[in-house]
Structure 1
Amino acid sequence: MARKSSNKKSLFKRIAVGLGKVCLWFIVFSLIWVLAYRFINPPITFLMVQRNWERKADSKQPRMRSKWVKFEDISDNMKRAAVSAEDQLFLKHMGFDIKAIEKAYKSNEKKGKKQKKIRGGSTISQQTAKNVFLWPGRSYVRKAFEAYFTLLIEVLWSKERILEVYLNVIEMGDGIYGAEAASQLYYGHSCTKMSKREAALLAACFPNPIRWNPNKATRYIKHRQYLIMRNMRRLGPLDF
């Protein structure tokens, strides 16, 4: 009996040591990864890969339009529209808007599981972490990783870098990623020249870029555009 007990303790110890090593290597790897992307632009995201697999499954040609634009070259209107639409406390929080999360949770609880519209409480930092470092989907495991990477980028990146990466990798249409590719497609010019109305209209489509198109704006999208422009006036210039 003593030998069996000793063997069990030895097994648990080996498992614990193994898990500890895995966790340590993950932390080291993730720190290097996040630090590298502070200076290197992410070449591709898991969502881009998934979307191309979905196109292939539908017998369509792969499609990925994306062109990186430096932070200073992105129109201030686009930056302000994104913050006004998605995360008005972006410059003040450390990655999480607790009040927005609580509000989203209560709203979704009231609507119930049968409702199709789910309200989100993710900040721009959370969306950036999700888009750059994680796979698409909804699960508690992915949410935990999202929180971890959100904290890392808030600590290791500047707010300018977070917003720059966000506006260069987020999905803005079928096979369209980033403000530059979207502006070229929808408006025929660089995102550097984007007007307030154009930026607000594009930001109005952020929640569902596959379904919503700035060139075919519905009454609902135009109303969102109006609200975003109103928020942009309230927000004023972004003080980084």
Structure 2
Amino acid sequence: MEISYKQIVIETVITFSVLLALTRLLGMKQLSHLTFFNYVTGITIGSIAANMVTLNTTDFTKELTSLVVWCCLTTFIGYISLKSGKLKVILDGQPTIVIKKGKIDKKALAKTKLNIDDLTMMLRQYQIFSITEIDYAILEPNGILSILKKPEFQGTEKRDMKIFPPSPNFIPIEIITDGKLIKRNLLEVGKSRDWLYNELKKANIDMVEDVFYAEIQSDGKLFIQKFETK
């Protein structure tokens, strides 16, 4: 059965309106393709919408329902991942330190399926041509490399003036996010739970659950942001 131009226009307008509403529902994280899961989901949603408009289907409502259900599932998974740290790691992955204290971590490269050529190519995108300039490099879940240079390479003024600040004692790293303790990060910086609880007590905080975000700074001090009280 041939579909009229009028029906194509109507279905296109409906698809456009529904897709616009759904993308607003999914939020900016989905639109920005922060992770591979978000990226694949975005492509799938676009493909479903494109097929609805371009293919001569006889049952438009079924495909529209499929689009809505897919977006609702994505929203549900996003909500669950916010509540479950383990599920968030499964879906989004976690940052991986590939260069630590100026040395390449071979195990981390193998884990992230990167080779030396891939790593050096990513470094050159930051105008870094020597690994000796780097203190830490972290591969984020979205595939972007975050780099902390050694102090003497952080600004030309310091190097030109022969001012070489000492290396930081710690790499700034989050310890608590959304009321949950990140145990592996606490171990990474060589701190114990007792130390953390003592620091929280100094800030008049009794429980980890009261903290929205906390990170260890380069000088070893703990930055704390509590949940906002309503």
TM-score by length of 1: 0.23
Higher relative contact order (CA 8 A, sep 6+): 1
Q: Which has the larger radius of gyration?
A: 2
The structure carrying a bigger strand percent of its residues is 2
TM-score by length of 2: 0.24
